[in-house]
Amino acid sequence: MTDTITPECIDADTASEPCTGPAYDRPALSGSGFTYARCDRHYDAYAARLAPILADSPDTDTPPWWWDTSSDETWNDPYDC
């Protein structure tokens, strides 16, 4: 029999509102590729908190000042960590 560990919401001890529902790993909205365990309430609060920041910093196409031939990089170059 395999034991499964239920993650604890990372905001459980610091938030003013109690957790709602189970916590599970969700992707960071920053695009870092990291995941963090959050319950539904705290993930919704996190998304609302970051919405103005993400609206001001959209994932853009190549800006007009970028010149690909000046380096061996491209603007939206995917990379493996």
Three-state SS for the chain is: CCCCCCCCCCCCCCCCCCCCCCCEEEECCCCCCCEEEECHHHHHHHHHHHHHHHHHCCCCCCCCCCCHHHCCCCCCCCCCC
Mind listing the pLDDT tens digit for each residue in 12-69? Answer: 888 788 999 899 999 998 878 899 999 999 999 999 999 888 777 656 666 677 666 6
Its pTM surpasses 0.85: no
Distance (Å) of CA 62 to CA 57, 65, 79 = 14, 8, 17
The residue ranges of every structural domain in the chain are 1-57
